[in-house]
């Protein structure tokens, strides 16, 4: 971690404005525009269809003091991004920030030089919203956002002519966790994918689904989770899963793909009326 001097931070923020204009195709960016009482983020961007805010953090930590404004913004369909300066792509601070942002569906922009910027993960609101095809079987996908396993599961279900329910692909109209649990209720089937860096929402989703519909759940656990003995929360979740149902281990995305392709049709055929 490198703390920026005031003049360095000013230069990066100026160039970040240029990056944001190009990335989000806007001509004007407002600085410190008041969104709510006591909440005026570093950047406010608006075009015909989207609103976004960007909060700059140095050092790269989550702005806990702005949680209320962030939640309100997401519920109002405003995309939220945290921009940070961090040279090391695998630093503990950056990984912790990514995990925290994952809880809320917040995007992350990494800066590692005066003119070097990259979106590491998109804001929840920036995913393409897809229509729900009501005559298809709904299957809720629970996993950490922005991982390859999630995309693979989504594509497999589409290929099988089912309706994958991913929270980033449906309109957000209220509290994120509540929306997820509501969609689990609306979906007859559930796929849970557990990786070492899972989010708190995933924990809640898996426990909720296994209590409500354990026979209609497919739980897949990354082999790497079994090397994290010191992670008490992860160990407790694995124990809970093991008590409720049989789970499947996978070592790579191909094994996960094979598992879903083999087991989802069987689970559906056993339980659908």
Which residues share a beta bridge with 107?
81
Q: Show the domains of the chain with their CATH numbers.
A: 6-126 (3.40.1350), 138-271 (3.40.50.10140)
Question: Chain centroid to CA 203: how far?
Answer: 13
Question: Chain centroid to CA 209: how far?
Answer: 19
pLDDT computed for residue 110 by the predictor: 94
Only one residue has tokens 């994918």, namely: 193
Low-confidence ranges of the chain (pLDDT < 70): 1-3, 173-174, 273
Sheet containing 217-222: which strands, arranged edge to edge?
163-165, 138-142, 189-194, 217-222, 248-250
Instruction: List, as one string, the DSSP characters of 245-272.
Output: ---EEESSHHHHHHHHHHHHHHHHHHH-
CA–CA separation, 106 vs 181, rounded Å? 19
Q: Which pair of tokens denotes residue 262?
A: 């083999």
pLDDT computed for residue 6 by the predictor: 76
């Amino acid at each position: 971690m490198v703390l920026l001097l005031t003049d360095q931070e000013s230069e990066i923020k100026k160039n970040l404005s240029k990056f944001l204009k190009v990335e989000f195709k806007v001509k004007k960016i407002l600085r410190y525009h008041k969104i709510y009482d006591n909440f005026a983020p570093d950047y406010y961007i608006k075009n015909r269809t989207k609103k976004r805010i960007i909060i700059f953090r140095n050092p790269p930590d989550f702005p806990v003091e702005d949680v209320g404004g962030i939640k309100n913004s997401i519920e109002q369909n405003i995309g939220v991004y945290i921009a940070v300066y961090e040279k090391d792509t695998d630093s503990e601070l950056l990984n912790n920030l990514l995990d925290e942002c994952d809880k809320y569906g917040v995007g992350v922009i990494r800066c590692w030089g005066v003119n070097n910027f990259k979106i590491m993960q998109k804001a929840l609101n920036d995913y393409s919203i897809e229509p729900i095809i009501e005559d298809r079987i709904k299957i809720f996908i629970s996993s950490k956002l922005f991982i390859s396993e999630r995309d693979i599961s989504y594509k497999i279900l589409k290929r099988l002519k089912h309706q994958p329910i991913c929270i980033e692909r449906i309109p957000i109209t209220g509290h994120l966790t509540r929306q997820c649990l509501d969609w689990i209720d609306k979906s007859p089937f559930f796929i849970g994918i557990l990786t070492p860096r899972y989010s708190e929402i995933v924990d809640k989703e898996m426990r909720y689904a296994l209590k409500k519909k354990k026979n209609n759940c497919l739980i897949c656990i990354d082999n790497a989770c079994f090397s994290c003995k010191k992670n008490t929360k992860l160990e407790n979740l694995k124990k809970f899963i093991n008590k409720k149902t049989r789970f499947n281990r996978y070592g790579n995305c191909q094994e996960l793909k094979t598992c879903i392709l083999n087991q989802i049709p069987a689970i559906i055929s056993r339980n659908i009326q």
